[in-house]
């Protein structure tokens, strides 16, 4: 990068030097032409003027007497007239030649400078693009490293628990003699591992761009109501009241399976992090440029410093609570990947009563019925 910046400085210095050299050459050549024209024109003009001025008849020579002083004064005056006459005759031609010469020099040099500037601009553009690519790859590599480091940590914990439970049941020691109880616990841990592996595979396919969305018309209202029904047990258990503010049908163009994952993750998070007897508000609004969906749960709050990180892989605002609910830590990370794939705008924010998540599906993906 510094090398390229050095080239830029060198090019600019060369341009300045070349401008100075060309200007100096123009002045030098112009001065030489002026000198040559005056030098060659002066003797001829001088001879003509002096001859004409001193042509006298024999009769005049006999009757005219010119003193040496008068003769010298006459020569000075004649030479002054000569110079003036030469300049008057030569100056227009000289100016014309200088203008023509300067025009062609400027035309040639302007093309040269334009070509050099274009080349320099192209190099600068290529440099900036390369710099951005390198920086993007560096960040992606850092994200991959952090992701796989977090994956290994997330898998290590349940695998260690499962291994301990199985060893205890095989040895039949202590509390592990109650095999049915710990087989049930082991099954839950296994399901948690399976869920995490599936989420990791989803992330891997999306990051490698092997997942192409299968776009189709989706009734967004119907999809959301179906996802609410799937978490009905936890809604009843926590006595959460759901309020719907949605038209009968609103269609968008999207991948059905991916949208199911999006709204399942969003609604599950909203319910898991809501206190008992809280309220859950779901709304859909059709605007000229987009279809907007909002989910807001009451009684919840995310610290402001945590808001920018909630879409990061394995980031948990409340570590213990996430593990109790069996979350993989990839829910919102996958949500944002899917929404970006659909070119949808989204944000999460605190409100006076809770936390609100907003999605706006753009017009080209939104087809109202």
**Tens-digit pLDDT profile for residues 131-152:** 888 887 887 677 667 667 666 7
pLDDT digits over 159-184, tens only?
887 788 788 888 777 777 777 787 88
Other C-beta atoms lying within 10 Å of the C-beta of residue 205 = 12
Question: What pLDDT does residue 67 have?
Answer: 53
Cα–Cα distance, 23 to 105 (Å, whole number): 9
pLDDT digits over 247-265, tens only?
999 999 998 988 998 998 8
The one-character DSSP state at 240 is P
pLDDT at 54 over 50: no
**Residue 279: pLDDT band by 50, 70, 90 thresholds?**
very high
Cα–Cα distance, 91 to 100 (Å, whole number): 14
Domain regions of the chain by residue span:
2-137, 140-192, 213-365
Percent over 90 (pLDDT), the chain: 18
By the 8 A CB rule, do 3 and 115 touch? no
Question: What pLDDT does residue 73 have?
Answer: 65
Question: What pLDDT does residue 193 have?
Answer: 79
63-77, 250-264, 269-283: least confident range: 63-77
pLDDT digits over 21-37, tens only?
666 666 666 666 665 55
Alpha carbon of 152 to those of 16, 365, 369: distances in Å? 59, 37, 46
By the 8 A CB rule, do 218 and 291 touch? no
Percent over 70 (pLDDT), the chain: 63
By the 8 A CB rule, do 251 and 217 touch? yes
Question: What pLDDT does residue 25 have?
Answer: 65
Cα–Cα distance, 103 to 93 (Å, whole number): 15
Right CATH number for 213-365 from 1.10.10.10, 1.10.10.410, 3.40.190.10, 3.30.565.10? 3.30.565.10
Cα–Cα distance, 356 to 297 (Å, whole number): 7
Cα–Cα distance, 268 to 274 (Å, whole number): 10
Cα–Cα distance, 348 to 302 (Å, whole number): 10
Cα–Cα distance, 259 to 218 (Å, whole number): 9
Cα–Cα distance, 257 to 338 (Å, whole number): 10
By the 8 A CB rule, do 224 and 263 touch? yes
Question: Among 302, 253, 299, which Cα is nearest to 277's?
Answer: 299
> For the whole model, what pTM was predicted?
0.55
User: What per-residue string of b and e applies to 244-282 under the rule 16 or more CB within 10 Å gives b?
Assistant: eebeeebbbbbbeebbebbbbbbbbbbbbbbeeebebbb
User: What per-residue string of b and e applies to 316-353 under the rule 16 or more CB within 10 Å gives b?
Assistant: eeeeeebeeeebbbbbbbbbbbbbebbebebebeeeee
Cα–Cα distance, 344 to 362 (Å, whole number): 6
User: What per-residue string of b and e applies to 176-200 under the rule 16 or more CB within 10 Å gives b?
Assistant: beeeeebeeebeebeebbeebeebb
Give CA angle at 331 (325, 332), nearest 5°: 125
Greater pLDDT, 215 or 154: 215
Greater pLDDT, 9 or 296: 296
The one-character DSSP state at 184 is H
pLDDT digits over 194-216, tens only?
777 777 777 777 766 666 778 88
Cα–Cα distance, 223 to 249 (Å, whole number): 10
């Amino acid at each position: 990068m510094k090398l390229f910046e050095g080239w830029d400085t060198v090019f600019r210095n060369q341009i300045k030097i070349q401008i100075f050299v060309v200007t100096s050459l123009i002045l030098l050549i112009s001065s030489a032409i002026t000198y040559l024209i005056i030098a060659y024109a002066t003797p001829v003009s001088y001879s003509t003027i002096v001859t004409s001025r001193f042509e006298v008849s024999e009769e005049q020579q006999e009757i005219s007497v010119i003193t040496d002083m008068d003769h010298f004064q006459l020569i000075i005056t004649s030479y002054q007239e000569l110079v003036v006459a030469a300049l008057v005759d030569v100056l227009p031609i000289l100016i014309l030649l200088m203008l023509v010469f300067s025009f062609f020099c400027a035309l040639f040099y302007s093309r040269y400078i334009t070509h050099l500037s274009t080349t320099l601009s192209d190099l600068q553009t290529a440099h900036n693009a390369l710099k951005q690519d390198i920086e993007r790859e560096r960040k992606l590599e850092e994200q991959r490293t952090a992701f796989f480091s977090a994956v290994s940590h997330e898998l290590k914990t349940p695998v260690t628990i499962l291994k301990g439970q199985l060893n205890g049941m095989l040895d039949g020691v202590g509390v592990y003699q109650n095999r049915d109880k710990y087989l049930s616990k082991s099954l839950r841990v296994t399901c948690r591992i399976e869920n995490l592996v599936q989420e990791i595979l989803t992330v891997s396919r999306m990051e490698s761009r092997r997942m192409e969305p299968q776009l189709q018309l989706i009734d967004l209202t119907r999809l959301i109501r179906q996802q609410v029904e799937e978490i009905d047990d936890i809604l009843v258990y926590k006595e959460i009241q759901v309020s719907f503010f949605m038209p009968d049908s609103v269609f968008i163009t999207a991948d059905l399976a991916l949208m199911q994952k999006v709204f399942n993750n969003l609604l599950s998070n909203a319910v898991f992090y809501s206190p008992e007897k809280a309220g859950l508000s779901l709304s859909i609004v059709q605007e000229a440029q987009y279809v907007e969906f909002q989910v807001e749960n009451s009684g919840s709050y995310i610290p402001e410093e945590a808001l920018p990180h909630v879409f990061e892989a394995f980031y948990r605002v409340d570590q213990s609570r996430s593990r109790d609910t069996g979350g993989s830590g990839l829910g919102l990370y996958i949500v944002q990947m899917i929404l970006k794939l659909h070119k949808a705008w989204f944000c999460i924010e605190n409100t006076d009563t809770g936390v609100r998540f907003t999605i706006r599906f753009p017009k080209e993906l939104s087809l109202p019925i």
